[in-house]
Amino acid sequence: MSEKEKRTVDVAAAQMLDKAQEIGFLTTFDRAKAQEPRCTFGNTGICCRICIQGPCRILPKKPGGNKGICGAADYTIVARNTVRYIAGGASAHSDHGRHIAETLLHVAEGKLKDYQVTDPDKLMRVAKKIGVETEGRSVDDITKDVANAALDEFGRMHEQDLTWITSNCIDSRLAVLHNTTIMPTNINLSIAQLLHQTHVGNDADPVNIIFGGLKTALCDYDGMALATDLSDILFGTGVPVVTEANLGAIKADKVNIAVHGHNPLLSQMVVKAAREMNDEAKAAGASGINIVGICCTGNEVLTREGVAIATNFATQELAILTGAMDAMVVDVQCIMPSLRSLAECYHTKIVTTMPIMKIPGSYHLAFDEHHAIDSAKEIIRLAIDAYKNRDAAKVSIPDVKSTVVAGFTLESLLNIFKKVNPDNPIRVLIDAIEAGEIKGVALFAGCNNLKGPHDYNHLTVAQELAKNDVFMVATGCAAQCFGKEGLLNGEGVQKYAGEGLKKLFARLNEKAGLTTELPLVFHMGSCVDNSRAQELVTLMAKEMGLDNAEVPYVATAPEAMSEKAIAIGSWNVALGNPVHVGVVPPIVGSTLVNDIVTKIAEDVFGGFFFWETDPVKAAGKMVEILEERNWKNRIRA
């Protein structure tokens, strides 16, 4: 691999990185290089910064150095550091869910004019699932009860298992969560207790700390599951859409606005307002308004509105480098502070919108749900004004993009299966497994991590699994990589799928009734929509009469980066799923803790982590896991 290839496999990104070099702008790729070599203590998790006597590092050869100043051993330090990542991730996902739940409640109370219940069928399904009475009641009353049930997850004072966990899991899995005492009853309480548990002079037992972490990881799951359900109720449950992905989706003749972050409350409004404001853009000399997405708010509006993907996490700066990005509207999570300094070289307006996410020097427009459409229009007018200052000489948009077929919520995926098996849609997948056509299902989740070439691990693991007849679903920045690289369309199937997988696709395509062929990888949505994938595996478990830990299903985060990715991986393990991580996390500094999460976890939960930076080897191991589960199921039958 040449030095240039080591940066990214994305051709459009490579062109923009060359441009950055030409103009002397240092991107996240340069900053990642500047961080090398990494500090071994931090890199392996044996640096403790929990109290300010530290930082303490584990120095085994120095007398007195094999423990922190308080006496914390490597296993305590590593366990504490690890679960604090989970607390960060669970806070982010659950706070996102809480914001959606509050908005839904205010809709039902008639306090918000710009939002409404868009999908009453989903409302009824969710109400029934969580035990809210629907018979003879108004939509508003049911909505209030569903929203209040979601808000109750955050702060109820009585002991009651979290509703979105109990209503989404099968009994055998709930028994595992109870037997290991990790079933949470209150999201905020679990996060607070975990921070307390890991305070200096508190819990030193690595097993107990890890179990506290898993309990909080389940709160991450609960927060994202309710965020998915309530967002579908508010904005609709996605159906298959055709659009495009990569920097080539930015249009030179249009006012370009990127929506970036995670929360759909504003981005949905921006999309809606933009459709009404094309004339204003035309009056400014553009041919219209073009909205594109970055990171998961992009995935949200892709799923429901067919908005194109500009790029994913590691290459977010490069959208500005095209010189044609007029405004980037950001909400929460995964937004690089460096966007502002790059925007200074161009006419681009960076607009922060949330009270907990501001960037010095950027434009802050406090988003207010009570005036959501007005806020969105104000942002669009800012972009139109910025467009007037665009310097045509600085515009260079890579002519690179791929067709994307997305919108595969669980409902829309099952609707396709229903065309093949109207009575029992999930059987389509299981029949294909039992017939040996496919080996099982893999979920791709997670970010970009510049410890390796951008998008390389995602792409290689997917190509290898496709060749080995694995049915694939994806979320987050992994899904966006596949969009850019042509795996979210039918050509991907022809190019990469093995014979068994091709047979399944032929059957599905024949009956699907879509205007286009189904994609090699099914885009299931944003980070919070990993809950959709978990619903899929649970449905398979029910139909197969198995526990989740026996279903031929694996999860992978080939380029995991964020605290949220660590939380997602952890609840996957607790719910019985094997989880591949394509970077070595800062956990290997303690053999004990590393063994707990990679080996002992399997005995307790059926799920476990494994680290493998080589994507070919990682895919090989994932295939082995699926084959082993199938083999055991055949023996059981």
Contact footprint for ligand MSK (CB under 6 A): 262, 295-296, 313, 333-334, 446-447, 476-477, 526-527, 561-562, 564-565
**Which lies closer to ligand MSK via its Cβ, residue 550 or residue 563?**
563
Tokens 């305590």 correspond to 76
Query: Is the Cα dihedral 592, 595, 597, 600 positive or negative?
Result: negative
CA–CA gap between residue 629 and residue 637 (Å, rounded): 12
Provide the token pair at 203: 């819990």
Distances (CA, A) of 345 to 67, 316, 334, 335, 349: 48, 15, 22, 18, 11
CB of 83: closest distance to ligand MSK in angstroms?
A: 18
**Which lies closer to ligand MSK via its Cβ, residue 168 or residue 475?**
475
CA–CA gap between residue 175 and residue 198 (Å, rounded): 27
**Which lies closer to ligand MSK via its Cβ, residue 447 or residue 539?**
447
CB of 557: closest distance to ligand MSK in angstroms?
A: 8
**Which lies closer to ligand MSK via its Cβ, residue 476 or residue 552?**
476
Provide the token pair at 241: 């859409």
CB of 554: closest distance to ligand MSK in angstroms?
A: 18
CA–CA gap between residue 129 and residue 152 (Å, rounded): 16
**Which lies closer to ligand MSK via its Cβ, residue 298 or residue 425?**
298
CB of 445: closest distance to ligand MSK in angstroms?
A: 7
CA–CA gap between residue 326 and residue 328 (Å, rounded): 7
Distances (CA, A) of 630 to 427, 613, 623: 16, 25, 11
Q: 177: closest CA among 538, 608, 609, 605?
A: 605
Q: What is the DSSP letter of 307?
A: P
**Which lies closer to ligand MSK via its Cβ, residue 346 or residue 482?**
482
CB of 468: closest distance to ligand MSK in angstroms?
A: 24
**Which lies closer to ligand MSK via its Cβ, residue 477 or residue 555?**
477
CB of 204: closest distance to ligand MSK in angstroms?
A: 31
CA–CA gap between residue 569 and residue 86 (Å, rounded): 9
> Bridge-partner residues for 242, per DSSP?
405
**Which lies closer to ligand MSK via its Cβ, residue 186 or residue 475?**
475
CB of 581: closest distance to ligand MSK in angstroms?
A: 13
CB of 505: closest distance to ligand MSK in angstroms?
A: 26
CB atoms within 10 A of CB 616: 12
**Which lies closer to ligand MSK via its Cβ, residue 605 or residue 611?**
611
CB of 558: closest distance to ligand MSK in angstroms?
A: 11
Q: 567: closest CA among 208, 94, 171?
A: 94
| Strands 578-581 and 608-611, bridge-based pairing | parallel
**Which lies closer to ligand MSK via its Cβ, residue 523 or residue 564?**
564
CB of 527: closest distance to ligand MSK in angstroms?
A: 4
CB of 561: closest distance to ligand MSK in angstroms?
A: 6
CA–CA gap between residue 585 and residue 5 (Å, rounded): 24
CB of 458: closest distance to ligand MSK in angstroms?
A: 10
DSSP H helical ranges for 243-350:
264-276, 278-283, 295-305, 316-321, 339-343
**Which lies closer to ligand MSK via its Cβ, residue 331 or residue 535?**
331
**Which lies closer to ligand MSK via its Cβ, residue 409 or residue 468?**
409
Position 73, amino acid: A
CB of 444: closest distance to ligand MSK in angstroms?
A: 10
DSSP string, 569-637: HHHHHHTT-EEEESS--TTTT-HHHHHIIIIIHHHHHS-EEEE---HHHHHHHHHHHHHHHHHHHHHH-
**Which lies closer to ligand MSK via its Cβ, residue 224 or residue 382?**
224
CB of 545: closest distance to ligand MSK in angstroms?
A: 33
**Which lies closer to ligand MSK via its Cβ, residue 46 or residue 561?**
561
CB of 525: closest distance to ligand MSK in angstroms?
A: 10
Q: 259: closest CA among 231, 289, 297, 288?
A: 297
Cα-Cα-Cα-Cα dihedral of 617, 316, 398, 304, to 10°?
90
Q: 465: closest CA among 560, 388, 580?
A: 580
Rg (CA), the chain: 24
CA–CA gap between residue 189 and residue 440 (Å, rounded): 37
Query: Is the Cα dihedral 4, 246, 340, 89 positive or negative?
Result: negative
CB 98 within 8 A of CB 220: no
CB of 295: closest distance to ligand MSK in angstroms?
A: 4
Q: 90: closest CA among 177, 199, 208, 193?
A: 193
CB atoms within 10 A of CB 430: 18
**Which lies closer to ligand MSK via its Cβ, residue 325 or residue 450?**
450
Exposure of 389 by Cβ count < 10 A (0-12 exposed, 13-18 middle, 19+ buried)?
exposed
**Which lies closer to ligand MSK via its Cβ, residue 213 or residue 446?**
446
Tokens 């890991």 correspond to 198
CB 543 within 8 A of CB 269: no
